[in-house]
Amino acid sequence: MFVSTIQDKDSSTPSNYSIPFVLERSADGERSYDLASRMMQERIIMIDSDFNSQMAHIIKMQLMYLDSRSAQPITLFVSSPGGSVHDGLGIKDVAKNCRSPIKTIVMGYAASMGCYTQSVMGTPGMRLMGADSFIMAHQVSSGTKGLIIDQKIALHHSDRLNELLTKQIAEACGVSYDKFLKDVDRDLWLNAEEALNYGTKGFVDGILVGERNEKGQYKVKRRDGSFDWV
């Protein structure tokens, strides 16, 4: 969910899982990498947890590092239930200031802040989605506590965040603010085809339909029914 205020929330970060190591052999000998570092060499970043301060800290560092090394595209694989709005906006601000294009690929599902990442952070034309994946958009959820006056302030802030995110997603998808606000009055779940054809721009620009080619590009179906490689 979008979480707009400080709130107790169990993290879904897979901290109990060890990151595999891979061994590569070359003329210079053998070298081992943890798999996350190996993916960084391919300019791939995984967003596969809720949005929280720890994951945002890591994602922002990864984006800034990769962008400093090259202007080649950075790929974000997104599979997330959402989470903290402020942490997600921090990632978005870093991504939008990168010279590198941002390719986003939903694998599984991208809900709430994950949906925002997919629709708003991705460079137009490079917002992609697995054929059996889902998008879910909804309004901001507000967790408030404390004095009544502080709860009113928090709710006002949540309302501002809801307007900000709703306007940005609506613009990215090519629908009016009022239509999008109505559509997300309750959880809006869309499959890949529905996400592709939503509004005039869609939540995504293409659906993955084939294996990668020798250049590492994905075969993608566009909303006009054509196919190309991204």
Q: Model confidence over 32-82: pLDDT tens digits?
A: 777 888 889 999 999 999 999 999 999 999 999 999 999 999 999 999 999
Asked whether the beta carbons of 116 and 182 are under 8 A apart, the reply is: no
- Alpha helices for 52-119 (secondary structure H): 53-69, 85-96, 113-116
- pLDDT score recorded for residue 1: 54
Distance between CA 139 and CA 188 in Å, rounded? 10
Q: What is residue 201's DSSP assignment?
A: T
Kindly report, residue by residue over 70-98, the tens digit of the pLDDT.
999 999 999 999 999 999 999 999 999 99
Which residue in the block uniquely carries the two structure tokens 């997104």? 78
Residue 7 or residue 161, greater confidence: 161
112 assigned to active site: yes
31 vs 220 pLDDT, higher one: 220
Average the pLDDT over 8-23 and give the result.
Answer: 56
Q: pLDDT digits over 184-209, tens only?
A: 999 999 999 999 999 999 999 999 99
Rounded mean pLDDT of 14-40?
73
Active-site annotation holder among 4, 49, 84, 112: 112
What is the rounded distance in angstroms from the CA atom of residue 170 to the CA atom of residue 134? 18
Tell me the per-residue pLDDT of 136-170, one tens digit each, with 9 for 90 and over. 999 987 767 788 898 888 889 999 999 999 999 99
Distances (CA, A) of 54 to 75, 91, 136, 153: 20, 12, 23, 26
pLDDT of residue 186: 93
Higher pLDDT, 176 or 27: 176
Instruction: Kindly indicate the confidence band of residue 2, based on its pLDDT and cuts at 50, 70 and 90.
Output: low
The confidence score (pLDDT) of residue 37 equals: 83
Lowest-confidence pick of 21-25, 42-46, 144-148, 221-225: 21-25
Confidence band of 108 (pLDDT split at 50, 70, 90): very high
pLDDT at 23 over 80: no
**pTM for this prediction:** 0.85
pLDDT at 141: 78
Closest to 194 in 3D by CA, of 134, 108, 138, 116: 134
Q: Give me the residue label for tokens 């917002």.
A: 127
> Greater confidence, 12 or 147?
147
Question: What per-residue confidence (pLDDT) applies to 169?
Answer: 97
